[in-house]
Structure formats: C-alpha cells, structure tokens
Amino acid sequence: MSTSANSTDLESINEETVEIPDGNELVDVSQENTNKEATIVRKLSTFSKKYDVNGDGVLDDAEMAMRTMDKSGRGHLTNQQVYSMMQEQLETQKQLFRVRRIMFVLLALVVILAVSNLGTSFAAASLAKDVTISSSAEITDKNTHEALSTQTTAEAIEVERVTFEPDGGRRLCDVDGDVECETNSFRMISESKCDAMINHCSRGNTVTLKRTWPNGDVTSFNVCPFKSGTISNMGMSKLKNSEGKSFFFEKLTGGTCRITGDAVAQEVDDICVVNGDCASLNCTKNSSRISDCKRRCDMLRFAASRLPACYASCDHATCHASSS
C-alpha cells in the first residue's frame, strides 16, 4: 500500500507546475581558495541540461523555447505540446503557401500587363504607318485619303455678321444703326471652319455655332447632328437640326460660308444688331427693357467702378414683333 501511494504522489508531483530557474542559470561549483581571489566556475543546472541538445553548455533559442514549454519540470515535452507545435508549423506552412500563390498571381498579372502594353505600342506604330493628319485636323488613310471614323466629338465654331466694303473687303457688323449692315450683311464663318463644319456634320458629330455680341454676351446655336436634309459640296446645303429648325449654308468665293436659317436666328427679347439677326422679327431698342436691366444692375450692388459696364451691357437692341 505504501508503494502504491508513493507512486501516486510522484505522478501528481510530475503533473504540477513547479518553479524552475531560468534556462541558462549557472550553478556555483567552485571552492573557496584562500591564497587567490575566488574563482567562479559555473555550469547548467541538471534540469536545463536535459534540454541542452547539442551539449555546448548553453541553451540556444530553440532549446530555451522547449525548456520554457516544460511547465511541470519533466525534462521532456508531452505529446499534447508536440501536437500543438506541429499544428502551428502546419498552419505556418499553409500561410506561406497562400502568400506564394498570391505572389505568382501578381507576377502573372504583371507579365500580362507588360505584354499588353508592348502589343499596344506595336499596334500604334503599325497604325501610324497607315494614317496621317489632314489639314483639317482629321485622321485620314494615307492610301485612300478618306477620313477614318473616330469617337464622336463636338465642334464649336464662331460665326460673325459681316458686310462688304466698296473695295471688296469685309467689315464686321457690331454697331447698332449701321445702314450697310442693315441692308447688305450676312452671317459668315471662315474657310477652315466651314470645311470642319461640313466634315463634322457629314459624320454626325455635334456642331455648335457661337455668336459673340458687342456687349460680350454669347449665343450658341445647335446645328448638327442634323435631323434631315442635304449637304452639297458645290451648292447650298439645306438641313434641319434636331429641333426641326432649318439651317442653310453655302460656300462663297474664297472658301468662306454664308449661314442662314431659323436655327441660327434670335427669338423674341433676344439680343440682336440688325433685323437679319431675328427670326421674322424687328431688331429695335426697347427702353422699358433697358430700364429694367439697369435696375437689376442697381440691385446687384456692384461697386461704383462696375456699374457703368453693367449699364452698358443693358443698352442693346432686342428682337420684337412689328408694331404695325
């Protein structure tokens, strides 16, 4: 009975957590020397020696970790502790495998992008051999000289009202009451802009004509893409814009274009210079409208230096129905 009891006591002691000195603790095994200074010779404790695998008298990091895990002082690790260590190692290997797989995917993506970029460069170089830029800033085929279809773009073209001088020159109509402009003037765009307008309208691109008035106001007229009509290379082109308003243009001597039609005409109360700017309306100054405009200038409380400019912008003619 006593032997069995002693065995049980030993097992319980082995399972208990005991207080163990640090792994590389040293035990003093020297003897006092009365003739010389005391010399200290140290070595690992008996417990730590059990984990000194390479026998160098010092526990390295791995040996120290093993010793630290032995909380009960057995001198060896249990199966459960070894199992936990293996689980951690396997999990670490899985994480490394996932990282490697991600690295391979990223590397493949970089290669694909590099090849794609290289292919685009070759395609651009090959395309550059077959196309050129025309005088009207269009991409054309070098062999057929035909314009290549590209993404739809918008073109804004400045239109002006001009009259002919006795010497054959042209003069801008930008002053109210100019008799020549009232009787003999027309809307015009330059030669290069005329060609650009024809090309853009033919391809269904957006074309907007802009008119800048003497007071600085700007009016825009949408003419293309057109809803129906005919574009003529030599005669007058007759179109209807997306709103159903008529729009006509024809090339004159020198390459400029004469522009007419309701699509580029001003409506009631819109700014104008001559009657021809209005759609079947008269272009006159309306004193009541001008006074209302100046009152708005006062309400805006502009600085004294800005009021004259605001008043001047109000003093212009507008389109009105005939009083007769």
Which residue in 266, 256, 274, 264 sits closest to 196, CA to CA? 256
Q: Return the pLDDT at 21.
A: 52
Provide the residue range defining the domain that includes 176.
Answer: 154-320
Does 142 lie in the same domain as 214? no
Does 212 lie in the same domain as 309? yes
**For residue 149, what are its two tokens?**
């279809």
Do 197 and 188 meet the contact criterion of CB atoms below 8 Å apart? no
Of 57, 75, 93, the one marking the end of a domain is 75
Q: Return the pLDDT at 107.
A: 94
Residues of the chain with pLDDT under 70: 1-43, 73, 130-131, 134-138, 141-142, 144-153, 168, 176-177, 254-255, 323-324
With respect to residue 11, please indicate whether it lies within any of the assigned structural domains: no
Cα gap 147→19, rounded to integer Å:
92
Of 107, 124, 150, the one marking the end of a domain is 150
With respect to residue 4, please indicate whether it lies within any of the assigned structural domains: no
Does 38 lie in the same domain as 179? no
Does 44 lie in the same domain as 158? no
Cα gap 269→285, rounded to integer Å:
10
Q: Return the pLDDT at 27.
A: 47
With respect to residue 128, please indicate whether it lies within any of the assigned structural domains: yes
With respect to residue 25, please indicate whether it lies within any of the assigned structural domains: yes
Cα gap 30→324, rounded to integer Å:
135
Q: Return the pLDDT at 101.
A: 92
Does 315 lie in the same domain as 295? yes
Within a 10 A sphere around the Cβ of 107, how many other Cβ atoms? Answer: 10
Does 225 lie in the same domain as 163? yes
Q: Return the pLDDT at 112.
A: 94
Does 280 lie in the same domain as 234? yes
With respect to residue 175, please indicate whether it lies within any of the assigned structural domains: yes
Residue matched to tokens 């899985």: 94
Per DSSP, the three-state class of 10 is helix
Structural domains of the chain, count: 3
Of 55, 75, 95, the one marking the end of a domain is 75
Q: Return the pLDDT at 163.
A: 84
Tell me whether strands 206-212 and 154-158 are parallel, antiparallel or unpaired: parallel
Q: Return the pLDDT at 144.
A: 67
With respect to residue 3, please indicate whether it lies within any of the assigned structural domains: no
Does 224 lie in the same domain as 249? yes
Q: Return the pLDDT at 41.
A: 42
Does 270 lie in the same domain as 223? yes
Cα gap 30→96, rounded to integer Å:
50
Does 116 lie in the same domain as 145? yes
Does 190 lie in the same domain as 273? yes
Helices (H), 36-78: 46-49, 61-69
- Of the chain, the percentage scoring pLDDT greater than 70 comes to 75
With respect to residue 7, please indicate whether it lies within any of the assigned structural domains: no
With respect to residue 23, please indicate whether it lies within any of the assigned structural domains: yes
Helix (H) or strand (E) holding 97: helix 79-130
175-219 tens-digit pLDDT = 766 777 888 888 888 878 888 888 888 888 888 999 998 888 999
Does 295 lie in the same domain as 180? yes
